[in-house]
C-alpha cells in the first residue's frame, strides 16, 4: 500500500500554501476589523485565483477547470482552510450539478464559472426547510415554455457576488419533482430580503432571497425535472469533503500557533508546555488532527479509485462529521492555551474558533450526518464503515 503523495499532489499542495500565505492571509485583519473588503479587493482576489491556476479545481480542463483529483482538491482546500474569515471562499468550486447541464448550459454557465467570468450561489434552505428538503415550498409552475418560480430562500452564501443562482424548487407543487433551475441574479422578481449578520466574519454574504414570480425558460432546468435532490446529494459529497479539508487546515494552523506559544510563554519560571495540563492538550490536538487527516485523505483517495456513489455519500458524511467536530475541539484547546490572548480578535485562533463553528451546521448538520450514517448501517451493515476499500 503506497500512501505517499506524488510530485503532482505535492505541487498542488505547495501552490495552495503559497496562495494562502501570500494572497489570503494579508487580508485577514482588514476583513475582521472592517467587516467587508472593498469590491476592488474582491476583484483583485478573483484575478489572483486565475493567475495561480486555482480556478475550477473540481472540473476538467475541457470546461476551463484544472482537472484536480479528489485528493488534490483535499490538499488544496486544507491549505486554504488555514485562512480566517472564510477567505478560502474566494477560490470558487462551480457546483457539481453543472456537469449534468446541456451543451448550452455548460457553454453559458459551467465554462464561464470555471474561468472566473461568472459565479453561482446555491439556494436550497428555506424558513421552514433545512435538513428536511421534503418541506421545501418554493414552487416552479409550468406555463407553456416557461416556469414561474415563487418562494423564499435563506442562507444563500455568496449571493452578493454571484451573477446566477441554482434554485431548488418543486415543479407544479409536486414534492416528488424537486428540480434545479438556473436563475440570473438580476432577473425580475429576485429580491434581497435582508443580509443577516452571523457569528463569523465571512468574506461574502449569506442573503435571504425572495423569488416573486420569477420567470425562466424551460431551457433553464438543470439536469432534468425531478432530479434536484439526487444532483444535490452528489454536490454534497464534494461540499462535505471540502468542509472536512478546510477544517483540517484550520485545526493545523491553530495547533501550530498554540504549540509555538506554549514554548514561548513562561509562567512560574518555565514554558507553559512544561505544565502537564498544557502538554496533554497539545498531545490530544496532535492525535485528533492525525486521525482526521488519515480519514479525509483515505476517503478522497477512494473516490479517485472509483468508489461506489452511495459509499462515497456515506463516507463523506463520516469525514464531514468527524473533521468538523474535531476542529471545534482543537480550536477550543488552542484558545485555552493562549489564555486571554486567545480571546482577542487579532489572534487567528480566536477567528478560527468562530469560523469552524458553522462547519457542524451547513451542508448537513452533525445530527443529519449521523442519520445518514445510521441509515447506511441499517441497510448495508457495519462493513460499510469497518471494511477497507480501494
Active site residues: 363
Using the structure block, give the residue that is written with the C-alpha cell 494579508.
26
User: How far from the centroid of its chain's Cα atoms is residue 389's Cα?
Assistant: 25
The answer to whether the Cα torsion of 121, 66, 321, 259 is positive or negative is negative
Q: Are 312 and 301 in contact (CB under 8 A)?
A: no
* 166: nearest Cα among 176, 178, 175: 178
Using the structure block, give the residue that is written with the C-alpha cell 487580508.
27
For the purposes of burial, counting CB atoms within 10 Å of the CB of 267, is it exposed (0-12), middle (13-18) or buried (19 or more)? Answer: exposed
Helix (H) or strand (E) holding 123: strand 120-123
* 72: nearest Cα among 238, 203, 235: 238
Contacts of 32 (CB under 8 A, 6+ apart): 84, 85, 201, 345, 346, 351
Amino acid at each position: 500500500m503506497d500512501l505517499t503523495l506524488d510530485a503532482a499532489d505535492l505541487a498542488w499542495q505547495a501552490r495552495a500554501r503559497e496562495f494562502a500565505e501570500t494572497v489570503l492571509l494579508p487580508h485577514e485583519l482588514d476583513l475582521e476589523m472592517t467587516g467587508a473588503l472593498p469590491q476592488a479587493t474582491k476583484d483583485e482576489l478573483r484575478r489572483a485565483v486565475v493567475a495561480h491556476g486555482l480556478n475550477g479545481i473540481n472540473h476538467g480542463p475541457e470546461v476551463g477547470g484544472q482537472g484536480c483529483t479528489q485528493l488534490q482538491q483535499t490538499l488544496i482546500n486544507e491549505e486554504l482552510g488555514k485562512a480566517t474569515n472564510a477567505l478560502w471562499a474566494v477560490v470558487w468550486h462551480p457546483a457539481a450539478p453543472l456537469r449534468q447541464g446541456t451543451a448550452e448550459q455548460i457553454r453559458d454557465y459551467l465554462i464561464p464559472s470555471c474561468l472566473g467570468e461568472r459565479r453561482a450561489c446555491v439556494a436550497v434552505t428555506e424558513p421552514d426547510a433545512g435538513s428536511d428538503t421534503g418541506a421545501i415550498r418554493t414552487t416552479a409552475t409550468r406555463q407553456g415554455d416557461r416556469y414561474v418560480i415563487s418562494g423564499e430562500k435563506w442562507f444563500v452564501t455568496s449571493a452578493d457576488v454571484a451573477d446566477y443562482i441554482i434554485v431548488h424548487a418543486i415543479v407544479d407543487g409536486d414534492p416528488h419533482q424537486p428540480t434545479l433551475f438556473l436563475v440570473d441574479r438580476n432577473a425580475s422578481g429576485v429580491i434581497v430580503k435582508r443580509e443577516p449578520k452571523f457569528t463569523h466574519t465571512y468574506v461574502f454574504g449569506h442573503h435571504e432571497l425572495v423569488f416573486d414570480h420569477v420567470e425562466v425558460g424551460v431551457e433553464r432546468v438543470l439536469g432534468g425535472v425531478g432530479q434536484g435532490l439526487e444532483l444535490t446529494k452528489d454536490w454534497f459529497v464534494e461540499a462535505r469533503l471540502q468542509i472536512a479539508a478546510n477544517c483540517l487546515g484550520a485545526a493545523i494552523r491553530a495547533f501550530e500557533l498554540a504549540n509555538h506559544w506554549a514554548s514561548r510563554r513562561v509562567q512560574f519560571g518555565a514554558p507553559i508546555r512544561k505544565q502537564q495540563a498544557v502538554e496533554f492538550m497539545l498531545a490530544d490536538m496532535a492525535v485528533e488532527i492525525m486521525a482526521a487527516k488519515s480519514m479525509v485523505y483515505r476517503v478522497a483517495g477512494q473516490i479517485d479509485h472509483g468508489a461506489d456513489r452511495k459509499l462515497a455519500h456515506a463516507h463523506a458524511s463520516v469525514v464531514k462529521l468527524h473533521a468538523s467536530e474535531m476542529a471545534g475541539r482543537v480550536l477550543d484547546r488552542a484558545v485555552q492555551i493562549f489564555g486571554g490572548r486567545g480571546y482577542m480578535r487579532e489572534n487567528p485562533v480566536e477567528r478560527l474558533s468562530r469560523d469552524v463553528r458553522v462547519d457542524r451546521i451547513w451542508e448537513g448538520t452533525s445530527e443529519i450526518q449521523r442519520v445518514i450514517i445510521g441509515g447506511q448501517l441499517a441497510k448495508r451493515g457495519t462493513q460499510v464503515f469497518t471494511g477497507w476499500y480501494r
